[in-house]
Amino acid sequence: MKKFMEEFKAFISRGNVMDMAVGIIIGGAFTSIVSSLVEDIINPVLGLFGGMNLDKISVKLFGEVTLNYGKFIASIINFLLMSFVLFLIIRTVNKAASRMAVKQEEEEKITTKTCPFCKTEIAVDASRCPHCTSMLVE
């Protein structure tokens, strides 16, 4: 049981779990912002064109049973807006990560060269290969 608890502690303290927890908390806060945007701004504006707030659109089925399809449409709009914003965020992060990768590759190309004798990577300013000890001609 002690080993299990140590493994669990190591799992929880890893960076990925903490990043995921922060992402879930921020996602929850972001959900409320997008929901408010849809319910308080977009639905009333769409209501100007339709004559009523989108949340209020419904159909009576039997007696007091109603089908609130306006709320469903608002939920779809909410989902699409949230997906679009997340797409933009992920796209921006991916672009930044790819730029960083290109810069790292450029730096690596500048700082290393290949030994003509043993074909291992060595520092650009090396005068002798540390692996095969061959003298390098500049």
Domain ranges of the chain: 1-107, 111-137
Question: pTM for this one?
Answer: 0.50
**pLDDT per position as a tens digit, 89-99:** 888 888 888 88
Fold of 1-107: 1.10.1200
**pLDDT per position as a tens digit, 47-105:** 777 666 777 778 888 888 888 888 888 888 878 888 888 788 888 888 888 888 877 77
Instruction: Please report, to the nearest 10 degrees, the dihedral formed by the alpha carbons of residues 75, 80, 84, 86 taken in order.
Output: 50
Q: Is residue 117's pLDDT more than 70?
A: yes
**What percent of the chain has a predicted confidence (pLDDT) above 90?**
1
